[in-house]
Amino acid sequence: MPMDTIIAPGRMAFIKAEKPNGCIFCRDSARERDLVLYEGTDCYVIMNKYPYTSGHLLVTPFRHVCTIEGLQMKEKIEMMELTAACVKTLKKAFNPEGFNIGMNLGRVAGAGVDDHLHIHIVPRWLGDTNFSTVLGEVRVIPEDLATTRNTLLQYFLRGEEG
């Protein structure tokens, strides 16, 4: 069987770049502030740097915590409120036909970052898993992160997120 080749020139910058020290989700650590869409009191909304689809968002507490049982009640409440706000915003901005919403708790459950709890909000459209995903185990993201951010940010800045 011949080997498939996918060229992704943007990955080389990531491979060669110095990796951040600290947690990529903690408020004063290594999080990428240009991906943050909204900051609440105890939690915030950030775009997934490596999305499953355009508009893939994450809701996470500022505090470094990795378990549901470790969350304070105010964090649990705000995480759910922000998750609902993300769904509302994504519906307005991109008109998805459905959503996948969830958490991967622990590395064996698929958590890429298993030491800081976060909720994934993934908008879905009929046919968004095309032949590349099914046959090649590759995701095709139809829009660059900056364009997606600019689309979503206008809703968050206007206070339409919730």
pLDDT, tens digit, 9 for 90 and up, residues 30-62: 678 889 999 999 999 999 988 888 899 999 999
Domains, the chain, with CATH or none? 23-157 (3.30.428.10)
The per-residue pLDDT for 138 is 61
Q: Which of 94, 16, 6, 5 is nearest to 56 (CA)?
A: 94
Query: What's residue 132's pLDDT?
Result: 45
Q: Which of 56, 116, 118, 120 is catalytic?
A: 118
Per the annotation, the verdict on 116 as an active-site residue is: no
Residue 156 confidence (pLDDT) = 81
User: What distance in Å separates the CA atoms of residue 79 and residue 99, rounded to the nearest whole number?
Assistant: 17
The DSSP element (H or E) to which 11 belongs, if any, is helix 10-16
Mean pLDDT (the chain, rounded): 82
Instruction: Kindly list the strands in the beta sheet with 98-102, ordered across the sheet, starting from the edge strand earlier in the chain.
Output: 36-39, 43-47, 57-61, 119-124, 98-102
Assess whether pLDDT exceeds 60 at residue 136.
Answer: no
Q: Are the CB atoms for 93 and 152 separated by under 8 Å? A: yes
What one-letter code names the amino acid at 17? A
Per-residue pLDDT at 85: 96
How confident is the model over 105-134, as pLDDT tens digits?
A: 888 887 778 888 999 999 998 877 644 444
Q: Give the pLDDT confidence of 8-23 residue by residue, as tens digits.
A: 555 566 566 666 677 8
**H/E element holding 145?**
helix 145-157
Q: Express as a percent the part of the chain with pLDDT over 70.
A: 76
Residue count of the chain: 162
Instruction: Find the helix packing angle between 73-94 and 145-157, rounded to 10°.
Output: 110
* Other C-beta atoms lying within 10 Å of the C-beta of residue 113: 15
CA angle 25, 14, 139 (to 5 degrees): 85
- Residue 60 is classified by DSSP as E
